[in-house]
Chain A
């Protein structure tokens, strides 16, 4: 198969294509199990295989994909034909940043392949999770396990050949209850990074049981709580909402394709402009953020992106100043040309496709915030006059240029004079993105830093779901409107 692919790469180059690549996925397996109130509502497995071909012709992209590999030549020809039509309307001919030709393989860290674990064992594990949630005050209990195993062979007309085998494990538990006014509330826990591998071995029942106890107890506190007041307070974000704040208002606005207008028809643009790199004060001095695809053991670390560029640890915001973006080979060339200066010396290796039948686009890797010097969560609370601690992502809604946002949380704890006083329900907060990050007044130390896995970041047309990570500390932001 690889020989056939290479012959077609050469053939299309000879037909006038300036660049061709092929991602052949011999198999991508998934296994999704959902238990709801003791019922195994979903026991689903899937397998997909196919090829995706990307062709650059006279500065325009064509793409074609098929699951039927009986005539590979047709799939290559269709991609070239699509590029020829696209070449009729070109305004900025696509160029690709230089990269080295690579022959390598990447295997994600895994001790026990979850696809080798018998289904009955997985179901038994879910039953134990469900039992741990079956407690007073809980009306609905949910447990999910999601496993992915994909094999990808990448080859391009510049001589790169890269093989990847990636295994992902995602797990989630949640409980719902109803307060005396009849309003439903939810408390959830998702498995983050633990240890050096993320195979079946990362599902530690004791860890889930501890968190089940905690979320059930917190749900019961919320059910009895007063409603979050409308107020301006310091908000202290725990990892269960801090990851999403980082994702939506640092990650997405710093995708270079968004900044260059490639997502304007759907996902939106970015308030960031090319002039801002090196100048914009994105946040306070305490904020240092990075796209780190070298972070060990995370879905945002994948060896090489789908341009064949190696993983990088790339600074995005340096002590508050915007310095970098999430980039691929095409966009860095266009950005540098449009800015008439070298902002991005090379691709940062963040161009990824969700499946063989989608085209790679700029995706988050691990968008992390460096731990700070403001101590533990207790230290931060002790130094907060009027605040609220928030956790859990209940809803998120962000402006189309990521310039403002509204988040609802599962739980809030009011803080007065350095002490936690009350739990509140229906906690929300909203702000302008830049004002908010510039109001960052405390960043927790390494004891507060966690890596949260995200299994379902959506982007692009056609839509693509991507897996990634966020390493984030507890952070405090001042004078934020809550309760609206």
Chain B
């Protein structure tokens, strides 16, 4: 690794030591590449190399920050950033609490989740993965869309409290492939999340897409009657629901601000199904983990739910400072959420489709545009998308038009949860707004939830 940025950070720290306030410097470097496909062509091929420097100034109960997207070859501009943050902090209003300044007692460097072969994958290599995964599936009418996003992230920190640094480096890739019928408007999808090159498996993508295209080409399509269904969710849908849990259930700050469905009195109580065990597990490399948080706290597996019993909230340092809680090592850009597998041995879509069943099962792989209707009630709404299947009791399969679900998450993961697959997969939930922040959630391959009602059913694809 080039040490140029560490030298720069050290020089900036020395400069900052002359300021009357304390300074924390957060360096973020991303090399991002994205190949986007539409209408069976490469519609865009991009590369971005960006360096961000965020400087936070602390002065007792006052705090202010200044961020630059910048260039390391301009040291004067970087020093200006420190001057600006140090000037800003003089003029802000004091908080009602004193924010903790990050302090690193030793230098820490974690590159375990970095694979240069994945980070530097060429455009030609990415095109080859797409070509391999879609061989024989595209036609004049069935067209390919998707993205192949890959890149590397380097985060480094230093503060005026010590000369020690923290460095985190990860590589990541997100592959999304969609085959859509241009006239009939159905669409199916296969996705993969990778932390290292070996995680990419074009054959598995080909297998899933091939199976779905076969179904949507030959099986009858149908508008589903409104009513109650036993639903099997795929990894994308389950990961979305878990991400909403992270937002409105286990976040201590959100709870204190009145935007949560659990409260402190519920710690230690059975609030969800005994099948439900959710942790933040920084030992899972597929989640691009950070094994220290940005305050320097070591991160170890942190249980949120054990067999349905609520174990406690995640507290960032700032929320802990404000609300008098103990920080839990969650001052990070993303957690490493992992929902444990259950007892059902169903590892592929083909296996799910042909498993004997006692009634109709609605398979929903993906929930589109989910939003929180009412956080206290954990009420969310979203629509099915990308290759839902109605697996009929008699073994036949129908391809249903999209439907809307408006449900309480605490019901979905509570009484209604029937089973989880033994097999788990990482699902990539990275958003590409702002700085690159690769994120993945580990979820069971399938999750069955009984007796959920459909509130809207489309009359066509």
Contacts and interface: CB of A to CB of B under 8 A. Distances in A.
Contact of A119 (B34, B36, B45, B88): B88
Interface of A: 36, 38-50, 60-70, 78, 81-83, 85-92, 118-120, 123, 127, 139-140, 176, 178, 182-184, 260-266, 268-269, 357, 359, 394-401, 403-404, 406, 408, 426, 428, 430, 458, 461-465, 484
Contacts of A400: 368-369, 383, 385, 402
Contacts of B38: 260-265
Contacts of B373: 394-395, 406, 408, 428
A430 B455 contact: yes
Interface of B: 32, 34-51, 63-73, 84, 88-89, 91-93, 95-97, 122-124, 127, 131, 143, 145-147, 149, 176-178, 180, 182, 185, 187, 189, 257-259, 318, 322, 368-377, 381-383, 385, 402, 404, 406, 431-433, 455-456, 458
Given A85-B42, A92-B41, A261-B182, 19 more contacts: A39-B96, A49-B70, A61-B43, A63-B44, A64-B46, A65-B50, A66-B49, A82-B47, A127-B93, A260-B38, A260-B39, A265-B36, A357-B69, A395-B373, A395-B381, A399-B404, A400-B368, A463-B431, A484-B406
24 contacts: A48-B69, A50-B69, A60-B41, A61-B43, A63-B44, A65-B49, A86-B45, A89-B42, A92-B39, A119-B88, A178-B258, A260-B38, A261-B145, A264-B38, A264-B178, A265-B38, A395-B372, A396-B371, A397-B381, A399-B368, A399-B404, A404-B404, A404-B456, A461-B36
Contacts of A82: 45-47, 123
Q: What are the 7 closest A-B residue pairs judged by CB atoms, nearest first?
A: A48-B69, A85-B123, A86-B42, A462-B432, A46-B67, A82-B45, A264-B145
Contacts of A49: 69-70
A82 B123 CA distance: 7
Contact of B91 (A118, A464, A465): A118
Nearest to A484: B455
A39 B369 CA distance: 32
Given A85-B123, A462-B32, A264 B180 contact: yes
Nearest to B43: A262
A357 B455 CA distance: 41
B377 A183 contact: yes
Contacts of A67: 49-51, 69-71
Given A404-B458, A408-B373, A45 B46 contact: no
Contact of B42 (A90, A183, A430): A90
B124 A399 contact: no
B406 A63 contact: no
A140 B145 contact: no
Contacts of A404: 383, 404, 456, 458
A139 B71 contact: no
Contacts of A396: 371
A263 B38 CA distance: 8
Contact of A261 (B39, B63, B84): B39
Contacts of B123: 81-82, 85-86
Contact of A397 (B45, B122, B259, B371): B371
Given A43-B92, A48-B68, A462-B149, A65 B458 contact: no
B65 A357 contact: no
A40 B50 contact: no
B374 A462 contact: no
Contact of A38 (B32, B96, B385, B432): B96
A399 B457 CA distance: 11
Contact of B46 (A65, A88, A139, A260): A65
A119 B69 contact: no
Given A50-B50, A64-B46, A68-B49, A45 B65 contact: yes
A62 B35 CA distance: 9
Contacts of A428: 373
A61 B68 contact: no
A464 B46 CA distance: 14
A140 to B, nearest CB: 5
A406 B185 CA distance: 22
B71 A261 contact: no
A430 B373 CA distance: 12
Contacts of A40: 92-93, 95
A244 B373 CA distance: 15
Given A63-B44, A183-B376, A400-B383, A265 B145 contact: yes
Nearest to B433: A463
Contacts of B182: 261
Contacts of B68: 46-48
Contact of B404 (A183, A263, A406, A463): A406
Contacts of A261: 38-39, 143, 145, 180, 182
Contacts of A68: 49, 51, 71-73
A465 B433 contact: yes
A85 B45 CA distance: 8
B288 to A, nearest CB: 17
Contacts of B67: 44-47
Contact of B73 (A38, A70, A91): A70
Given A64-B46, A461-B432, A184 B259 contact: yes
